[in-house]
Amino acid sequence: MSPGLTRFVIIIVYLAALLGLSVFSSRMSRGTKSDYLLASHSIGPFLLLMSLFGTTMTAFALVGSTGEAFKEGIGVYGMLASSSGIIHSLCFFLIGVKVWGFGYKYGYTTQIQFFRDRLESDMIGVLLFPILVGLVIPYLLIGVMAGGTVIETMTGGPGLTGAFPEMFPSDNPGANGGLPSQYGSLLICAVVLIYVFFGGMRGTAWANTFQTLVFMVLGVVTFYFIAMKLGGQDSFMESLKACSEAVSAEKATRADMSKSKFFTYLLVPFSVGMFPHLFQHWLTAKSANSFKLPVVAHPVFIMIVWVPCVLIGIWATTSLVPAKPPLPTLPNGVVNANAILPFLVKTQTGAALGGLLTAGILAAIMSSLDSQFLCVGTMFSTDIVSHYFGKDKFDDKTQVLIARVFIIAIVAITYFLSLQGYKSVFAMGVWCFSGFASLFPLVFAALYWKRLTKAGAFAGVLATVASWLFLFQKSGFGSNRKFTIDLAGYEIMPVVAIFACSLIAMVGVSLVTKPPSDATLARFFPES
Amino acid sequence: MKYLVWLMVIVLIIAHQNWNWDDQTLVFGFIPIGLAYHAGISIAASIVWFLAASFAWPK
């Protein structure tokens, strides 16, 4: 059996195990809408931790972190990982617990239901719905396209080493005989669709837990084998030292990183406060106390995944990586940083281990995709169909059926969009996060500021959209990946300007418009 | 205690933001000090959030 075929078989076995788990979890379903969309508020601390962590750690956590460290050095850990450890837990603590309380008490399933009640406005849903879905779609595309690329890379190989050299020959030796990315993406979409369709939120929570364990364990295993192979010493510690001593000062320090950019990146993780798929996960909790474990463990979990990947990324810049085969490149000849981790796994480990590690990368991708597919389907069925056509018209079974139909539709749309070859979609990641982060003032004010008004919320959302579109256009629609704003000589991230526009418009308009009714204030601020 | 916990969160964010910016020291012989420092920030974050969950949990 060729190395590519060995890896392909292991990937298929892993995906089959995942589907087996979904059959097991779907047997626990109670068949109601609440169970399908929110697991009947029955998710305890451990499953909640794994669901939230698995959902926030996308393909970027493994593949992207290694690639960014390859390009920028160790500074990416502080800029993206330790900042997320602080801010994500802050959002779970300040937003998640409070949202869970209102969701449990008033029966919310989506963000828009909460905002409609809190702001006494039906139209806020009409405004927010396309924005939230529009920001989630590129995020979905990143996962679907990354999954296809990883499968193609890992099952391909020069000569007869690929999985299917006669069926799928290619001029690119790395992808020769590999399962083409469009089929890999289809495989990923089909597996996620099956377990989300049958298992709903309960199936998603179990699958997330399994997949998070898989990618955390296999990430550490990858680190061990790559360190031993590149370091070439007898002991693990000696190999680690040999690898790190070969790293240049440029990559081993943050000397080349803009301090103002590092500082302003701190706003990006606030995006988790407005992710609709995390909002839905928060509402699945059994109790407010279920949030304690995720709040405490999240920063350390990020460290366990990111530190090995960042070290592998900086090691890949050294002469310890064999000259042949050469590092993967983009058509313009520049090294493809996002392919560094799959490349090292493929060239520095055996076929069987390579297959397992590929399963780990796919686990990170799918544990985010499932929640996003489920959440977009939920938003369509809850915020559009049930809201406008009357939820009393449909019984529980019909509402679950409607949600399932929308989930199939969103998976199909995402897959067909992924075939259009939007290579720049990977650059969209930070723009999606910037959009969600700039809506954070809205959710924070809705929960903690009684004076927030309907008009203030509209002003904040519209200011976010206008400033986001203006800066996105200035960046060449995301094509300038290093786009920043020059503020008196300081290089700052676009998210700062968008966040500021959102906050100023929301507060300014709220202060000059009529406050919410006493009934609404009593409902959302009972302590006062 | 509640206010002390929130003060610690603020200190944590300040600590997250330059003393080792261009230091090339390798901690344990293999972790660049800038990375080790921020891994320490991650561990400190978990400790601070543990204190928050114990003493400042919302009603």
How far apart are the CA of A296 and the nearest CA of chain B, in angstroms?
A: 5
Contact between A168 and A177 under an 8 Å Cβ cutoff? The reply is yes
A vs B, Cβ pairs < 8 A, gives: 119
For B39, name the nearest residue in chain A, comparing CA atoms only.
A303
Among A68-72, A281-285, A389-393, A420-424, the range of highest mean pLDDT:
A281-285
Q: What is the mean pLDDT of residues B38-49?
A: 95
Alpha helices in A291-395 (DSSP H): 292-315, 340-348, 351-379, 387-389
Q: What angle do CA A326, A329, A333 make, to 5 degrees?
A: 110
pLDDT the model gives residue A391: 63
pLDDT digit string, tens, across residues A306-325: 999 999 999 999 999 888 67
Q: How does residue A215 score in pLDDT terms, banded at 50, 70 and 90? A: confident
How far apart are the CA of B52 and the nearest CA of chain A, in angstroms?
A: 9
pLDDT the model gives residue A328: 79
Cα B50 to Cα B5: distance, rounded to the nearest angstrom: 10
The contacts found for A236-242 with CB under 8 angstroms, 24 or more apart, are A237/B29, A237/B30, A240/B29, A240/B30, A241/B26, A241/B29, A241/B30, A242/A320
How far apart are the CA of A304 and the nearest CA of chain B, in angstroms?
A: 9
Contact between A516 and A456 under an 8 Å Cβ cutoff? The reply is no
Q: What is the mean pLDDT of residues A205-224?
A: 90
Cα A288 to Cα A285: distance, rounded to the nearest angstrom: 7
Q: How does residue A426 score in pLDDT terms, banded at 50, 70 and 90? A: low
Q: Is the peptide bond before A326 cis (omega within 30 degrees of 0)?
A: no
Could you tell me what percent of chain A has a pLDDT over 90? 47
Answer yes or no: do B13 and A302 touch at CB < 8 A.
no
DSSP A329: B
Q: What is the mean pLDDT of residues A395-413?
A: 88
Residue B32 belongs to domain spanning: 2-55
Answer yes or no: do A252 and B30 touch at CB < 8 A.
no
Which domains does chain A carry? 3-426 (1.20.1730.10)
Contact between A231 and B29 under an 8 Å Cβ cutoff? The reply is no
Q: Which amino acid is at A405?
A: V
For the cut 60, the answer to whether the pLDDT of residue A341 exceeds it is: yes
What residues contact A262, with CB distance under 8 A and at least 6 apart? A75, A78, A79, A254, B17
Answer yes or no: do B32 and A266 touch at CB < 8 A.
no
Number of domains in chain B: 1
pLDDT digit string, tens, across residues A136-166: 888 888 889 889 988 988 888 888 788 888 7
3-state secondary structure of A527: coil
For the cut 60, the answer to whether the pLDDT of residue A422 exceeds it is: no
Q: How does residue A457 score in pLDDT terms, banded at 50, 70 and 90? A: very high
Answer yes or no: do A86 and B12 touch at CB < 8 A.
yes
- Chain A positions contacting chain B at CB under 8 Å are 74-75, 77-78, 81-83, 85-86, 89-90, 93, 97-98, 237, 240-241, 243-245, 247, 249, 252-255, 259, 262-263, 266, 288, 292, 295-300, 302-303, 307, 310-311, 314, 527
Cα A452 to Cα A502: distance, rounded to the nearest angstrom: 13
pLDDT digit string, tens, across residues A198-212: 889 989 898 989 889
Contact between A495 and A437 under an 8 Å Cβ cutoff? The reply is yes
Q: Which of A175, A282, A202 is nearest to A24 (CA)?
A: A202
3-state secondary structure of A487: strand
Answer yes or no: do A254 and B22 touch at CB < 8 A.
yes
Cα B39 to Cα A301: distance, rounded to the nearest angstrom: 11
Q: What angle do CA A132, A134, A140 make, to 5 degrees?
A: 100
For A76, name the nearest residue in chain B, comparing CA atoms only.
B35
- Chain B interface disruption, residue of A76, A253, A298, most B CBs within 10 A: A253
Q: Which of A338, A383, A500, A474 is nearest to A110 (CA)?
A: A383
Residues of A in contact with B20 (CB under 8 A): 253-254
How far apart are the CA of A469 and the nearest CA of chain B, in angstroms?
A: 29
pLDDT the model gives residue A202: 85
For the cut 90, the answer to whether the pLDDT of residue B22 exceeds it is: no
Select the residue of B16, B26, B57 nearest A78 (Cβ to Cβ): B16
Comparison of pLDDT for A60 and A432, the residue scoring more: A432
Backbone angles phi, psi at B26, to 5 degrees: -105, 115
